[in-house]
Every structure is written in C-alpha cells, then in structure tokens.
Amino acid sequence: MTKLSYLLRPHWPQLTLAFVAVVGESVTGLLEPWPLKIVFDNVLGSKRLPDWLAQLVQATTGTNKLAILSFVVVMVLAIAVVGAVSTYFEKYLTNIGGPMGFSRPASHSLQPYSKAVALVPLTTSALVI
C-alpha cells in the first residue's frame, strides 16, 4: 500500500479533480429527469410545487405556469453546462493526453470511426435513389 501511495502522491491534485468531475457527472446524470417531472406535473398537470421549490421559483421567475417553465429552462441549461464541464474534465484528466499520462494506442481509438466513415458513401447513395 505504501508503494501505491508513493506512486500516486505526485498526482493527487489531478486525481482529486477527476474525482470531483466524476461526482459532478453523476449528480447531473441524476438531475437530468427532474426538469421534465416539473413540466409534466406542474406545467402540463395540476400538481402544486413543493413549498421549497415554489419559494425558489417565485423568488427567481414568478408564480404562473410560464414562470415555472422559464425556471425549468434555466435549470436544464445549468444541468447541461455543469454536466458538460464535468464530462470534459473527467475525460481530460483520465484519458488520452491527460496530465496523468494515460495513453492508448492510436489504432485502438480510431478503429471504430474508420469503419463508420467507410459506410457513409453507401448509406447516402442508398437514400438518394
């Protein structure tokens, strides 16, 4: 165990940031369906918002259904931005070219794409006919 900690010690800032990024990715993944629930239950349906959420919506956008929808749009954008930033940092810190120096062979990363690119002319010509 001491040998492992000795090897990881120089990389603790990157590992900590990668862990925070993974937590951010997980939290945004869990929050993604939440705005849809609000739209279906409270904008399209007739359920009342929970008190804590009603106070937050009222303080930021208002009380009518359009205000709730505006709040949901802002929440979707915020969740998407936090998720994208977390995903970027998680991929950057743990994959090819990251500060930790992890790497994969170039042929491994390009192989699936070369097959897909080869099929593109076949599929587009089939659609034209």
In tens, the pLDDT along 21-80 reads 999 999 999 999 999 999 999 999 989 999 999 999 999 998 899 999 999 999 999 999
Which position has the higher pLDDT, 47 or 120?
47
Distance CA 11, CA 108 (A): 26
Can you give the pLDDT at residue 8?
A: 77
Q: What is the mean pLDDT of residues 108-124?
A: 46
Average pLDDT value for the chain: 79
Number of domains in the chain: 1
Can you give the pLDDT at residue 6?
A: 82
Which position has the higher pLDDT, 116 or 78?
78
Provide the domain limits for residue 51. 2-128
Give the confidence band of 15 by pLDDT, cuts at 50, 70, 90. Answer: confident
First to last CA, the chain: 64
Residues 6+ apart with CB under 8 A from 69: 39, 43
Can you give the pLDDT at residue 3?
A: 81
Given 3-state DSSP classes, what are the helix, strand and coil percentages for the chain, each rounded to the nearest 5?
80, 0, 20
